Chains A and B, each alone.
Chain A
Amino acid sequence: ELKVEQNPLFLSMQEGKNYTIYCNYSTTSDRLYWYRQDPGKSLESLFVLLSNGAVKQEGRLMASLDTKARLSTLHITAAVHDLSATYFCAVDLNTGNQFYFGTGTSLTVIP
């Protein structure tokens, strides 16, 4: 069974600051996904990382994947309040069938 761990689980940060969320997984995979969930809402796809060394950026968020270290990072630059949400990473076993999600990182950006 694949284990996916995120840290931190809770993150409170001030507007304008930078921070990184980490996603570690326990077995070989070169496909990793990041999602955002607002309270009481569904999940929205942010990034799809499909190979070692992949880097994707959208606005103040940048995601990267190191398959050798089994690690993905989600970096937040100059945080703004609108980024407050829960962020999940998910890994699939290179089949598209079995997805394993991390427990999520609840991010609160304080003005």
Chain B
Amino acid sequence: NAGVTQTPKFRVLKTGQSMTLLCAQDMNHEYMYWYRQDPGMGLRLIHYSVGEGTTAKGEVPDGYNVSRLKKQNFLLGLESAAPSQTSVYFCASSTGQGFRYEQYFGPGTRLTVT
């Protein structure tokens, strides 16, 4: 039982390049989330999904797209990276059962855009 995994762990992009971050969970959770963490700002929700085939915008969705084609995977895409997207990205999942939305986090992806 690996929990929540993220690929890659580190990445350096040049401005304008694109990339996809992969999040996978093996806990059969319905809800999945993408956050970014910047110094002094806590975590901010980018996008989330409440089930396979669904996605929705969070607090800071601009410049990102997501897809959830399979229940266990949640992909975060950057179509044209900008230096402002330099951050640590965390994926999380939760069961959503019993109104308990305790989130389990992946190890994070450190992205630098130059």
Residues of A within 8 A of B (CB): 1, 4, 31, 33, 35, 41-45, 48, 50, 88, 90, 92, 94, 96-104
Which of B15-23, B62-70, B78-86, B100-108 sits within the interface?
B100-108
Kindly identify which residue among B43, B50, B105, B108 contacts A97, using a CB–CB cutoff of 8 Å: B50
List of B residues within 8 angstroms of A97 by Cβ: 31, 48, 50, 56
Chain B residues 91-114 with CB under 8 Å of chain A are 92, 94, 96, 99-108
Instruction: Show 26 residue pairs from A and B whose CB-CB distance is below 8 angstroms, ordered by the A residue.
Output: A4-B42, A33-B103, A35-B105, A41-B108, A42-B90, A42-B106, A42-B107, A43-B90, A43-B92, A45-B103, A50-B100, A88-B43, A90-B43, A92-B101, A94-B99, A96-B96, A96-B99, A97-B31, A97-B48, A97-B56, A98-B48, A98-B58, A99-B103, A101-B35, A101-B42, A104-B42
- With contacts A96-B94, A97-B50, A98-B59 taken as known, whether A45 is within 8 angstroms of B104 at the C-beta atoms is yes
Contact B42 A99 (CB under 8 A): no
Kindly identify which residue among A31, A43, A92, A100 contacts B59, using a CB–CB cutoff of 8 Å: A100
Contact B102 A99 (CB under 8 A): no
State in angstroms the CA–CA spacing of A100 and B35 once bound together. 10
List of A residues within 8 angstroms of B35 by Cβ: 101
Residues of B within 8 A of A (CB): 31, 33, 35, 40-45, 48, 50, 56, 58-59, 90, 92, 94, 96, 99-108
**Count of chain A to chain B residue pairs whose CB atoms are closer than 8 Å in the complex:** 63
List of A residues within 8 angstroms of B94 by Cβ: 96
State in angstroms the CA–CA spacing of A101 and B58 once bound together. 13
- With contacts A42-B108, A43-B90, A96-B31 taken as known, whether A101 is within 8 angstroms of B100 at the C-beta atoms is no
Contact A103 B100 (CB under 8 A): no
Task: Specify which of A33, A42, A92, A101 lies most central, judged by the most chain B CB atoms within 10 Å of its CB.
Answer: A42
Q: Closest Cβ of chain A: how far from B43's Cβ, in Å?
A: 4
CB closest chain-A residue, reference B95: A96
Contact A103 B45 (CB under 8 A): no
State in angstroms the CA–CA spacing of A96 and B106 once bound together. 18
Contact A96 B101 (CB under 8 A): yes
